[in-house]
Amino acid sequence: MRKIYTNTMMVLMLALTMMTFTSCDKDAMEAGTLNGGWTGYIDTYYYDRWGISGSTFRTTMYFDRIDRYDGTGYEVDYDTNSPYRDYYYCPFDWEIYNGVIRISYDDSWNDVLIYDYHLDYEYFEGYMDDGVSANRIHFTLWYDKSFNWGRYWNMRSVTDSNGVRASGKFAKSKEK
């Protein structure tokens, strides 16, 4: 009887240890999965940081993981009607804490919070907002391993992904 009790306790302690380490590393695992380029269309009315408004643009966000839970990256937004002329670049820092991804842009634009998301190695879907307004944007992005863009040469190459969409309103930039 004592041997069964000892074996049972060892199995329970091992299971508890595995669950503890797994739950602590969820943000780190998400950060590893997020690493790379994600591309999609925003099909909604928007007002962006450059004062441009419209109904459709394509965005690619590139996340470069630096540490366990954070990194740097950049966003390239461009008008689908004139992709080689009307595009905008903005670098950012990002972090994951308690399952929420925070993107802090290098300009005066509000930080973006991404939550209630599903992320795997090919698909990234969820909700984002600026943490200030009540406008939530639903997005669906696909992993884009072929995105190649250089801000100094004004060149890029992307593959077309069908069904990549997002909807909602964007918040206006902070007043300083």
Query: Residue 52: its pLDDT value, please?
Result: 65
Q: What's the gap between Cα 86 and its chain centre?
A: 23
76: number of Cβ within 10 Å:
20
Full DSSP string of 57-97: EEEEEEEEE-SSSEEEEEEEEEETTSTTTSEEEEEEEEEEE
- 22-47 in b/e form (b: 16+ CB < 10 A) is eeeeebeebbeebebbbbbbbebebe
Answer with the residue of higher pLDDT: 59 or 172: 59
Contact partners, residue 155, CB within 8 Å, separation at least 6: 148, 149
Query: Residue 156: its pLDDT value, please?
Result: 44
Answer with the residue of higher pLDDT: 86 or 58: 58
68: number of Cβ within 10 Å:
12
Residues 73-92 have a mean pLDDT of 78
Query: Residue 145: its pLDDT value, please?
Result: 84
CA atoms of 145 and 77, how far apart (whole Å): 17
Please say whether the beta carbons of 29 and 21 come within 8 A.
Answer: no
Q: Per CATH, which fold does 2-169 belong to? A: Lipocalin (2.40.128)
Query: Residue 168: its pLDDT value, please?
Result: 40
pTM of the model: 0.68
Q: Is 115 exposed, middle or buried (0-12, 13-18, 19+ CB in 10 A)?
A: middle
For residue 55, pLDDT over 90 is answered with no
In 3D space, the residue among 106, 107, 164, 103 whose CA is nearest the CA of residue 129 turns out to be 103
Contact partners, residue 143, CB within 8 Å, separation at least 6: 36, 37, 38, 121, 122, 123, 124
What digits encode the pLDDT tens for the residues 148-162?
Answer: 666 554 444 444 444
